[in-house]
Chains A and B, each alone.
Chain A
């Protein structure tokens, strides 16, 4: 086992406090309203200009987002596959080189620590991307294995290019071979004279790509993409975390720590969640060798489910922020809304909600009690909620190969 915790660019600057990403000079220039927040220690834009315009760049034209702060680990060594397949609940033994897959991992009690993606970069070489820092857990899990775990969050600059014209934009920017790149595929290519990796992945549910390169190429990569806009060919907009939050809920993607409490951070008994309880039973494969949490999950599987994170569409237009949920209007309290957005494309309130089951069954009619303010006066209303078993929104262009031009 070897763990690299010494980072080249991860040095702390006591004056700056938050870390600038390698794209920061460009990000700062585009971020007109200076609406900053922090993400994984980086200074990150929440909104660049106008939230509505950013949202619609993702759904109608093309968006660009600095993805660098996302946690990234390089997993290598003879036991890399064995290590990963024991770490995560999904069977990834069939993951071919140049492919990506979605995974989650649990502690021994079968409670979810985080979710993420595994990139099979080259034969036997992997990248694990996660929402939250996982080095501690990865090193614990690597005990006794011949595997190297290297934090590469700060060593890789990443840019997400997402939206209906993402393919057209990147093709116009000189990226070759995208026409054959399938969803969850990886392509190594060159642009503007340097090497980079492109994956057809994203957190938007739309057509899109993620671009990965050495931080020294970051600005050149940004400029190569934005040159397409400057030539007047396609419109591009930077998007911040607020717009991303909207589209990820529309696409039905969950956010650990927001939609459910991660096991690692849970202090109170019963506040952690199993994969089944967050609706991710589909990424648990029992028919593979031992993986962390398997025994606990097998036991849980044999009992009726107690609760589940569900996708809820809420009637009307009142924002169900932090609302309690009830079994029937004014009935028994059965849960809460975790995260919610107004979906401009669907004209509806959408939410992720934690709902209790009764005798293994969902309540018949879920209602939300919504408190909302008008000119500083609080009002309350009730709204019917409907569970969506599929993503709220999908579009065929997300998976069409070759991709459509818009």
Chain B
């Protein structure tokens, strides 16, 4: 190990008189910051280098129009590990997670499905559509809870390497096997089937009403280059309902002040622990000597040395853009190149002069303050996917909208609002040539045209728009192809296969090099889990005491 573990903090390289850090983390995404915080907590001298002039990556708040603060990328939160929030004192560093409630789903013919937080009130609302479906909703929730409990337990654990015979891997494999076997044989088959099923087929077993199916299926495609009919989308659905807010499984929350509050609070904890963050410091290349990572070269030519290097970037970018191919062991470059990371979503952030009104939604503020889900129907969503397959953005897209300012007084001026629109589908490469600003604006136009259909007069309220296609998302925060999860969440890229089989324990094929971003287990979403898991592994290698807390469990 190129690190003097007997010495706390910094030491100096005699030859160059240049400071050598214990660890350099590339990227100030929330996972990079979490990783750095836990390393700093163990006494390491850490530096985070970020290419942008702001931190947070995809968990960021930005004021693009004076007075309005957008969560530019991610907009809602439910996977954030509560135990990390508590352990790093993120509340003291400014983080408040506020649940938002009451989502409306819109059908093609203007019909609305209103969902409440209270199960019983929700039951009453569903009965308007179908007494059968209202009843089956309980079965669906129980089944999802059963599937999700298993995955939830793995979030703050390092996946075992099934090919290794180290006692630790065998122990972890046995633990996983035990958890799976506890399901019972029939359930186990159901579960495996579930991983490879489409969301639409899965929901077919429960519901007769198309709007209910469409509303529930939408969670199965978010951030994914799959349609509601594509195998694998059922698992994505699970990924989006396994989180919780204060133990309310499946609930989602907003970060007060925007999603940047998450990254900023972690950075606050990191700085308090003695860590350093440097912005405007993009990494050109990871330096490797004798098959060991020894530091980084910045875009401005500066060389920084470190005992270990941790990448918060996605696996494809890390290996194909930030490393010399010759430094890599055989096969890794190809694995990284073939890593599935197709972008499928856009984001349109809109500053509004007032709260929009939606047709078919009762004027009841307990209802219309949550999300607005423009799903249409299963068929509309599938057609939206067809467009993507043909290299076009959807002409009638699926939009998941949230109006954070309805809950958070800090993100828009009094009486004004902003609306976050997550849009599918939008390809990273268009069939008719590269993205241009004009095409980007046309994509935005498609989105507001659709919203206007459900909210006449909506366009008159628009003060400012930020339109983000996968092209912008990649250019700004380096998510390859604009894939929001730093790599697709399909079974071949999950758990001990994430990012690649054999490298799921945060250690990379080069010595002293690690990964800590969403490309690693448990994958995309604002959870801090990847960063924390990686820190635990690193500290183990450095023979430092573990600083990462155990997860709060709700599933025993």
Contact = CB atoms under 8 A, between A and B. Distances in A.
The answer to whether A and B assemble together is: yes
A168 B414 contact: yes
A50 interface: yes
Contacts of A348: 86
A344 B246 contact: yes
A56 B248 CA distance: 15
Interface string B113-151: 000011001000000000000000000000000000000
A300 B553 CA distance: 45
A61 B409 contact: yes
B98 interface: yes
A329 B86 CA distance: 22
A396 to B, nearest CB: 12
A172 B117 CA distance: 31
Nearest to B354: A232
A305 interface: no
Interface in A200-241: 231-235
A1 interface: no
Given A342-B247, A346-B91, A61 B96 contact: no
B366 A342 contact: no
Interface string A11-33: 00000000000000000000011
> Range of interface residues on chain B?
20 to 34
Contacts of A374: 556
Given A165-B409, A345-B91, A406-B409, A172 B85 contact: no
A347 B253 CA distance: 13
Given A52-B245, A347-B91, A60 B96 contact: yes
A164 interface: yes
B366 A233 contact: no
B366 A32 contact: yes
A50 B409 contact: no
B408 interface: yes
Most B Cβ at <10 Å: residue of A49, A232, A234, A347: A347
Contact of B409 (A164, A342, A344): A164
Interface in A48-70: 49-50, 52-53, 56, 59-62
B82 interface: yes
Contact of B410 (A50, A344, A393, A406): A406
A347 B406 contact: no
B86 A56 contact: no
B100 to A, nearest CB: 9
A6 interface: no
A233 B415 contact: yes
A317 B152 CA distance: 15
Contacts of A52: 99, 101, 117, 245-246, 248, 251
Interface in B237-274: 245-248, 251, 256
B101 A317 contact: no
A374 B354 CA distance: 45
Interface residues of A, number: 32
Nearest to B409: A406
Interface in B488-540: none
B355 interface: yes
Interface in A349-403: 374, 379, 393
A174 interface: no
Nearest to A381: B556
A49 B246 contact: no
B536 to A, nearest CB: 19
A18 to B, nearest CB: 24
Q: Which of A52, A345, A406 has the most CB of B within 10 A?
A: A52
A317 B554 contact: yes
Given A168-B414, A317-B552, A347 B82 contact: yes
A231 B409 contact: no
A316 interface: yes
A312 to B, nearest CB: 15
A347 B247 CA distance: 10
B246 A232 contact: no
A356 B532 CA distance: 39
B184 to A, nearest CB: 16
Contacts of B410: 406
A346 to B, nearest CB: 5
Contacts of A53: 99, 101
A50 B117 contact: yes
Contacts of A235: 369, 406-407, 409
Contacts of B82: 317, 347
B118 A50 contact: yes
Contacts of A342: 246-247
A234 B86 contact: no
Given A317-B552, A345-B91, A232 B355 contact: yes
Contacts of A345: 91, 96
B91 A234 contact: no
Given A50-B117, A50-B118, A342-B246, A347 B415 contact: no
A34 B251 CA distance: 23
Nearest to A372: B556
Interface in B68-120: 82-83, 85-86, 91, 96-99, 101, 117-118
A79 to B, nearest CB: 47
Contacts of A50: 101, 117-118, 366
A232 B414 CA distance: 8
Nearest to B87: A347
Nearest to B417: A232
A56 B354 contact: no
A347 B251 CA distance: 15
Given A50-B101, A168-B414, A60 B354 contact: no
A56 B99 contact: yes
A232 B415 contact: yes
Interface string B414-427: 11000000000000
Contacts of A49: 366
Nearest to B408: A60
B67 to A, nearest CB: 12
Interface in B289-328: none
A344 B410 CA distance: 19
Nearest to B416: A232
Contact of B552 (A168, A172, A233, A316): A316
Given A52-B245, A60-B98, A232-B354, 17 more contacts: A49-B366, A50-B101, A52-B117, A60-B408, A62-B409, A168-B414, A233-B414, A234-B414, A235-B406, A235-B407, A235-B409, A316-B552, A317-B247, A344-B245, A347-B85, A347-B86, A348-B86
27 contacts: A33-B118, A52-B99, A52-B245, A52-B248, A53-B101, A56-B99, A59-B96, A60-B96, A60-B256, A60-B409, A61-B408, A164-B409, A165-B409, A232-B355, A234-B409, A235-B369, A316-B552, A342-B246, A342-B247, A344-B246, A345-B91, A347-B91, A347-B246, A374-B556, A393-B91, A406-B409, A406-B410
Instruction: Pick the 6 closest A-B CB pairs, nearest first.
Output: A317-B552, A347-B86, A406-B409, A233-B415, A56-B98, A347-B85
Interface of A: 32-33, 49-50, 52-53, 56, 59-62, 164-165, 168, 172, 231-235, 316-317, 342, 344-348, 374, 379, 393, 406
Interface of B: 82-83, 85-86, 91, 96-99, 101, 117-118, 121, 245-248, 251, 256, 354-355, 366, 369, 406-410, 414-415, 552-554, 556
